[in-house]
């Protein structure tokens, strides 16, 4: 968990700051070296950027993987990280003590979300983060209890571009699900 100050566009101080900084540095390096071309931070950490902080276990990175003849290729990505000495644990790659889940953007929604991510500054490191409207759509599609809670946080604590959100939800077949969700609250 770390604190976020949305209005200033920068991440604030927190106990686990060094862990986050190390993870962001590696992600930035992966991007600069062309191993991780199109990516964005998603999940709880992205939600925290826009809302009040809350506890989270991992860091989710959505990325558009390269393809060769229609097959997604992850070898360069994993080769780079294992050569650097990073270990895997279940679906995570551990960068220091920070479990990072690298999630290939598989749906049209996820790919679009990554392509429309916004750059943010954390100290001297620039990272890309999913817009709140795309986070809501992705959480709505997955729709676990914790995803519902993040949707509520985003709707209550963030200035949402309602027109953009409506457009995203309509194009990705989630408009009715969202209206039902809002009606239940």
First-to-last alpha carbon distance for the chain, in angstroms, is: 27
- Return the pLDDT at 16: 66
Which residue ranges make up each domain of the chain?
A: 4-131
What's the predicted TM-score (pTM) here? 0.87
Instruction: Out of 2.60.40, 3.30.460, 1.10.10, 3.30.750, select the CATH number for domain 4-131.
Output: 3.30.460
- Return the pLDDT at 97: 83
CA distances (Å), origin 122, targets 38, 106, 147, 158, 163: 18, 27, 25, 20, 29
Residue 69's pLDDT band, with cuts at 50, 70 and 90, is low
What integer best gives the mean pLDDT of the chain?
A: 87
The answer to whether residues 109 and 172 touch, using CB atoms and an 8 Å cutoff, is yes
């Amino acid at each position: 968990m770390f604190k976020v100050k949305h209005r200033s566009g920068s991440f604030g101080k927190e106990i686990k700051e060094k862990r986050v900084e190390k993870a962001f540095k590696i992600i930035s390096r992966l991007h600069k070296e062309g191993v991780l071309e199109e990516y964005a931070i998603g999940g709880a950490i992205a939600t925290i950027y826009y809302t009040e902080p809350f506890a989270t276990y991992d860091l989710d990175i959505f990325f558009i993987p390269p393809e060769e003849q229609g097959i997604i290729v992850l070898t360069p990505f994993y080769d780079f990280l294992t050569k650097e000495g990073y270990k895997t644990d279940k679906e995570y790659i551990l960068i220091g003590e920070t479990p990072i889940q690298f999630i290939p953007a598989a749906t049209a929604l996820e790919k679009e979300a990554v392509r429309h991510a916004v750059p943010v500054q954390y100290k001297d490191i620039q990272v890309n983060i999913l817009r709140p409207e795309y986070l809501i759509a992705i959480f709505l599609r997955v729709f676990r209890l914790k995803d519902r809670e993040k949707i509520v946080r985003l709707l209550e604590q963030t200035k949402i571009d309602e027109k953009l959100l409506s457009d995203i939800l309509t194009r990705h077949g989630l408009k009715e699900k969202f209206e039902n969700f809002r009606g239940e609250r």
